[in-house]
Amino acid sequence: MLTRIKHSILGNVEACAHIIGPVTVAETARIRSGAYIEGPAFIDEESDIGPNCYIRPYTSIGKRVRIGNACEIKNSIIMNEAHIGHLSYVGDSIIGENCNLGAGTITANYRFDAGTVKMMVKDKLVDSGRTKLGAVLGDNVKTGINALLMPGVKVGNNCWIGPNVVVHRDMPSDTAVFLKQNLEERSISL
């Protein structure tokens, strides 16, 4: 679809933002200084991108989306009213409406062993045939800082993923997961 639509840049594009190739920037969208956007890409009404972020080809950004400082978005669909916190990476993923990703959230999109990504579909493990496939998040998902979603993971609606949690399997809707940490304090004698 992104390769077939007629693209136009109508929104507020600040100085030192770079737009390369076929990109649509809706009239009320804002592209902040230092953003680098490669098309084909689509940025809808009232979205706020940057500063200093990288929007890679085949990315579609919905209405009233906020992409924070130093984020990278690649080949992904970001639904309306999502917020991607600064220093985050979203690759080959779908982010549902009204999601809020904390700073440093990563959607891993490549397996360590370079194999194809498998996903659970109707309780069966299905090979996607793709070597690059990130996460699929339902609506109203929230992540804490430095959350990590492994390739092919699906997260249901209304889930909370706490800070520093690694999500390595699907999460059903209305689930919260937090990392339990044991700290040990000792005095150091010099």
Give the pLDDT of residue 190.
77
Give the pLDDT of residue 156.
98
Query: Is there a catalytic annotation at residue 86?
Result: yes
Instruction: Give tens-digit pLDDT for 135-170.
Output: 999 999 999 999 999 999 999 999 999 999 999 999
The model's pTM is: 0.94
> Tokens in use for 76?
């992904």
Cα 151 from Cα 93, distance rounded (Å):
9
Give the pLDDT of residue 189.
82
Tokens 């809808």 appear where? 44
Closest-CA residue to 25 (of 40, 38, 3, 7): 7
% helix, strand, coil for the chain, step of 5: 0, 35, 65
Catalytic residue, candidates 18, 83, 86, 168: 86
What homologous superfamily does CATH list for 12-177?
A: Hexapeptide repeat proteins (2.160.10.10)
Give the pLDDT of residue 3.
85
Give the pLDDT of residue 28.
98
Give the pLDDT of residue 151.
98
Give the pLDDT of residue 4.
83
In order of 50, 95, 157, 165, the CA distances from 137 in angstroms are 22, 5, 7, 15
Beta bridge partners of 90: 73, 107
Q: What are phi and psi of 19, to 5 degrees?
A: -120, 120
CA gyration radius for the chain?
18
| Cis peptide, bond prior to residue 22, ω within 30 of zero | no
> Tokens in use for 139?
């609506």
Cα 36 from Cα 52, distance rounded (Å):
7
Beta bridge partners of 20: 38
Question: Could you say which residues of the chain have pLDDT below 50?
Answer: none
Give the pLDDT of residue 159.
98
Give the pLDDT of residue 149.
98
Taking phi over 0 as left and psi of -120 to 50 as alpha, with beta for the rest, 152 belongs to: left
Domain boundaries, the chain: 12-177
Give the pLDDT of residue 170.
97
